[in-house]
């Protein structure tokens, strides 16, 4: 089967701009968009609702295999469903974010969800963002982007994104540092992170338009097609 385009994998620590950048890149190229982190967030949310710690590996694996986690296109972006319920808003809380990081530390959970992600992106023409995208999910992706930004800037973005639910700003900075350490330790167990072939892009002083422009230019240079008229794509998942 002829591929629909290249695979673009966007990774980086929390608050580096992965989601907003990936969505806009996909829109401009007319590609699919897949937020892999939403799967982990949905699973973490399911565990929390059941009163189960995300650190309970055996239970987390069982739920990963049994729960129905669906990703669908919505006019406002990607819609995440957990067992038929739209949890797109619920998975964006600080608690769900922390649970996602903890549940992702279980290798068997990652194996289950990675399989789903590979199935979605097997024909190419997709922008994936989140952990493992360029190291495990699609190690042969034609374009790998690793976004970074200093911790204060990332905390500011998260604070604004969470609309006051983040609590004290200094506490948020410490939470991000702790998550960085946990995520890096989890990733490094699986190999180099970021990979040597990833393009490192510091977004600290960049506007969204500037960082998207840079990624789109790299995609076009690597055979990613052309930008549709008006720069708009359907991007269904």
Supply 61's token pair: 């694996």
Say how many C-beta atoms besides its own lie within 10 A of residue 97's C-beta.
23
Per-residue model confidence (pLDDT) at position 234: 38
Q: How confident is the model at residue 231 (pLDDT cuts 50, 70, 90)?
A: low
CA 32 to chain centre: 13
Beta strands at 7-11 and 126-129: parallel, antiparallel or unpaired: parallel
Least confident of 18-32, 37-51, 132-146, 159-173: 159-173
- Rounded CA-CA distance 38/99 in Å is 12
Residue 99 has pLDDT above 80, yes or no: yes
Per-residue model confidence (pLDDT) at position 128: 94
To 5 degrees, how large is the angle CA 152–CA 155–CA 157?
A: 110
Go through the chain and tell me how many residues it has.
237
Residue 202 has pLDDT above 70, yes or no: yes
What is the pTM for the complete model shown?
A: 0.76
- Rounded CA-CA distance 35/70 in Å is 11
Residue 237 has pLDDT above 60, yes or no: no
Least confident of 104-118, 156-170, 203-217: 156-170
- Looking at residues 97-110, what average pLDDT do you find? 91
């Amino acid at each position: 089967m002829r591929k629909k385009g290249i695979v673009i994998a966007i990774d980086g620590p929390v608050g580096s701009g992965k989601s907003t950048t990936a969505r806009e890149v996909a829109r401009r190229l007319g590609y699919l968009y897949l937020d892999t982190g939403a799967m982990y967030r949905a699973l973490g949310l399911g565990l929390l609702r059941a009163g189960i710690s995300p650190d309970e590996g055996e239970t987390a694996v069982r739920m990963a295999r049994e729960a129905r986690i669906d990703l669908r296109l919505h006019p406002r972006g990607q819609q995440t469903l957990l067992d038929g319920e739209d949890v797109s808003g619920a998975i964006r809380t600080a608690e769900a974010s922390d649970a996602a990081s903890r549940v992702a530390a279980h290798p068997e959970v990652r194996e289950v969800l990675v399989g789903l992600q590979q199935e979605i992106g097997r024909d190419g023409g997709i922008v994936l963002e989140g952990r493992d995208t360029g190291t495990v999910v699609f190690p042969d992706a034609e374009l790998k982007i690793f976004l970074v930004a200093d911790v204060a800037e990332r905390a500011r973005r998260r604070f604004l994104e969470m609309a006051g639910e983040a609590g004290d700003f200094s506490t948020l900075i410490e939470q991000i540092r702790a998550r960085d350490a946990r995520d890096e330790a989890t990733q490094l167990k699986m190999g180099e992170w970021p990979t040597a072939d990833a393009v490192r892009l510091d977004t600290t002083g960049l506007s969204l338009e500037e960082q998207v422009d840079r990624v789109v230019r790299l995609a076009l240079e690597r055979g990613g097609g052309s930008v549709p008229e008006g720069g708009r794509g359907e991007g269904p998942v």
